[in-house]
Structure 1
Amino acid sequence: MSKLRFAYNIGRVLGNNLKSQCSRTTTFKSYSSNPNLIFSFVILRSFSTGKTQQNIRLSKHESIDNFSKVERPASISYFTAKPTYNDFIIQLDDLLHKHRTTPTKLIDKNAPPTLWILKQHLDEKLGLRLKTNQYRLITRKLHRLDKIMFEFAPELHNFLDLFRRYDPEKEKKDIEAMKTVDPYGRALAIGRRKEATAQVWVVEGDGHVLVNGIPVADYFPLLKDRESILYPFQVTGLLGKYNVWTKVKGGGPTGQAGAIAHGITKALIIHNSDLKPILREAKLVTRDTRVVERKKPGLAKARKRYTWVKR
């Protein structure tokens, strides 16, 4: 009996605290002994600090929204695991439903197929990591939208342009054709290596090199980093004939030096396209994509294991 009395007192204390803190609570009476019968009313029980208690009876025609205002999410995919992906699928389905009666194109078997954006680029655009089956579902819906005649839906054409993948070789040639020397004789190029990115301006001069406003000898204390930066000039025999000013960020000294060398190589090709075969033979034109291999769980480094001790 003492344990029951103690539990009863604890329940009374918690109940009084709840009554004093809550100005109103809602009690739903929805079910009866008959599972097929649902009550048509709701009882709202209001608590106060005193001993007064009031019951409000609502019929089935009255709304309870006035008593419980809950903020609703803007999207129906708010409570899903990937709301961005689900919203995008809903958007594609809405476009298909909207243009379900729009005339479609005639199928031309000789025409090249439409190439859509690559999976990794679509991941960056949506801000998530798609699975292969999710990417295929998106491309199937884009193919269905691409069959619609754009004369009757011009806004659809602009929407699909965001997800088209153009010929990379043709796009690369167009970009190279647009790169020219500015009126001041400067050639701008972007170089990348590992996690480093460098903006490089190359102009004819006396061979001065500035990195983030600092001389290259002060910015890179190691000789091998300075040699890698000047290697494009050494290969082409133009050492001391061009001035370089660069802004570099990200990565470490080795990555930044490689990014600057890559940018200098591209800038020299803009100045003189005849240097490209020489620089390509020295393996300077193509970006070096090698990076440090990631560490593996349970290993000391990428592949190094811990020393096994029997005891």
Structure 2
Amino acid sequence: MYPLPIPVNAKSQRIAYMLGTALIVALWLAPLAAIVMTSVRPHEDISLGNLWGWPSKFVMAENYADVFARSKMLRYFLNSAMITAPSVLFVCMLSLCAGYVLSRFKFPGNTALFAIFVAGNFLPAQILMIPVRDLMIRLGVYDTYLALIIFHVAFQTGFATLFMRNFIAALPDELFDAARSEGASPQQILWHIVLPLVRPGLAALSILLFTFIWNDYFWALVLSVDDSVKPVTAGLASLKGEFAAEWNLISAGTIVVALPPVIMFLLMQRHFIVGLTQGAVKG
């Protein structure tokens, strides 16, 4: 199931492994490097086809300043924050409660209910486009923050419940037996025992959810039209010119949009690693 370790004396195999790893990393980083380099090029370089060569001059300050000057980027950032923050909060709350019930309470239909949560992760989001759009129109929330929040909460709760259910199931049974013997109610056990112990898992889940929701592009286009609602991923389209796309500005805007998830991961990296390695693998 796992690859065998390379023997210390097998130098040729080690060299081939290192070269193969370096090649894969280079191929993976090449598009990112191209975007970064394009974000500091002048528009003339792109018009002349200089996409991979060294820029004729660096205009980093001008390009990144134009991203905010030529578009409502600050407004789009605010929109994304207004959508992402409550979505992450609600998904974490729902998945914590659902995971607690599914992992610690045995009742008829427990497995079937859990299977429904898991099955939703295998449903392609694209086939839901028309039904979800029609539903939001009937609810009167189309082209509002609430439409995107409702969808993200509904769509992400399945994965989050799977994650939290496995995490809570890994907690020692003795903790719950001792709490019940002391007369603690299920709500007290959830608040005073489960919640403190699963904080690393919630931190890891929050980072994943933040990244998924912040980077969503498809549903940002389907459920938002007005600039006062569009998140940053959909707002990047405003950087396209009427007759030609200024790819240097689009690349700079892409880097700006990608910074919040990266910064959040770096700030919470320790909690993320602990949350993924503690208990989240027990079925």
Q: TM-score range by the shorter chain?
A: under 0.3
- The structure with the greater share of residues assigned to strand is 1
Q: Which has the larger radius of gyration?
A: 1
TM-score by length of 2: 0.20
